[in-house]
């Protein structure tokens, strides 16, 4: 049985929780097609994210990675297409580090393109009633850094074969906790809908990975 790694992030800054941490834990141990799903929670740290990812890849040897991250202010699930070799932080990470115009991987390519089946995922998300768009910028914070590291490892050693990233909005509870006396117009999405989004991405990635395995044996 192959493996698909699903990653989420720990809570950031003053936030009490991160819905993507819950997503990683919710899918840990599940089976999608012929694949076991392994959920991992990653640090919100520029300096530690690459090391944490490589440890997970070395330990699990996954066929594919579906990474998830929170982007407050987004109104839908965004399927990320591009990771750039830039760390440029508006605010510090959980370690207090705030890089400016620095490379994710020194000497690495300027950018990588996601390798999971993003067009199929986007189409099936919309069929499942999940508001979603294709995005060509994962930003320059930790989410982009993680996607770049994943794709860099894939390019170097072929593990994982397929990889991509989903950004999700905040959850309603987190938005409510921060609502002021006069209210705030802040987008959110139910955790159940986020779960549907990840499940769709996993199913399409599993199918694509199975096809790639068959092609490699032919």
- What is the pLDDT averaged over residues 35-58? 98
Q: What is the pLDDT of residue 177?
A: 64
User: If we measure between CA atoms, which residue out of 111, 50, 51, 107 comes closest to residue 85?
Assistant: 111
Q: In this structure, is the dihedral angle defined by the CA atoms of residues 126, 131, 133 and 135, taken in order, positive or negative?
A: negative
Q: Is 143 a catalytic residue?
A: yes
Q: Is the pLDDT of residue 180 over 60?
A: no
The three-class DSSP label of residue 70 is strand
- What is the pLDDT averaged over residues 152-158? 97
Q: What is the pLDDT of residue 216?
A: 61
Mean pLDDT of the chain, nearest integer: 93
Task: Name the catalytic one among 21, 40, 80, 153.
Answer: 80
Q: Is the pLDDT of residue 104 over 70?
A: yes
Q: What is the pLDDT of residue 85?
A: 98
Q: Is 152 a catalytic residue?
A: no
Measured in Å, how far apart are the chain's first and last C-alpha atoms? 19
The b/e string for 58-70 (b: 16+ C-beta within 10 A; e otherwise) is: eebebbbbbbbbb
Task: Name the catalytic one among 21, 40, 124, 143.
Answer: 143
Q: What is the pLDDT of residue 212?
A: 78
Q: What's the whole-model pTM score?
A: 0.93
Q: Which of 8-12, 19-23, 72-76 has the lowest mean pLDDT?
A: 72-76
Q: Is the pLDDT of residue 215 over 80?
A: no
Q: What is the 3-state secondary structure (H, E, C) of 157-198?
A: HCCCCEEEEEEECCCHHHHHHCCCCCCCCCCCCCHHHHHHHH
**Ordered structural domains, the chain, with CATH:** 2-217 (3.40.630.20)
| CA atoms of 74 and 85, how far apart (whole Å) | 23
Q: What is the pLDDT of residue 217?
A: 60
Element holding 57 (H helix, E strand): helix 46-60
Q: What is the pLDDT of residue 71?
A: 92
Task: Name the catalytic one among 124, 149, 152, 167.
Answer: 167
Q: For the segment 133-151, what is each residue's pLDDT rounded down to a tens digit?
A: 999 999 999 999 999 999 9
Q: Is 10 a catalytic residue?
A: no
Report how many helices (DSSP H) and strands (DSSP E) the chain contains, helices first.
Answer: 6, 9
Q: What is the pLDDT of residue 162?
A: 98
């Amino acid at each position: 049985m192959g493996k698909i790694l699903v990653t989420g992030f720990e809570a950031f800054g003053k936030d009490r929780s991160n819905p993507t941490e819950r997503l990683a834990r919710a899918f840990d141990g599940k089976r999608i097609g012929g694949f076991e799903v392994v959920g991992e929670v990653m640090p919100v740290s520029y300096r530690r994210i690459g090391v944490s990812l490589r440890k997970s890849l070395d330990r699990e040897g996954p066929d594919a990675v579906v990474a998830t991250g929170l982007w407050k202010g987004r109104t839908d699930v965004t399927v990320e297409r591009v990771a750039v070799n830039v760390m440029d932080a508006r605010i510090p990470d959980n370690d207090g580090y705030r890089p400016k115009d620095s490379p994710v991987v020194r000497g690495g390519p300027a950018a990588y393109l996601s390798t999971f089946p993003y067009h199929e995922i986007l189409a099936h998300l919309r069929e499942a009633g999940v508001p979603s768009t294709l995005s060509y910028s994962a930003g320059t914070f930790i989410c982009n850094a993680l996607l770049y590291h994943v794709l860099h490892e894939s390019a170097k050693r072929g593990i994982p074969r397929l990889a991509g990233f989903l950004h999700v909005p905040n959850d309603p509870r987190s938005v409510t906790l921060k609502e002021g006396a006069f209210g705030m117009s802040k987008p959110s999405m139910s955790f159940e809908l986020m779960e549907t989004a990840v499940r769709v991405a996993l199913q399409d990635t599993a199918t694509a990975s199975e096809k790639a395995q068959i092609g490699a044996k032919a």
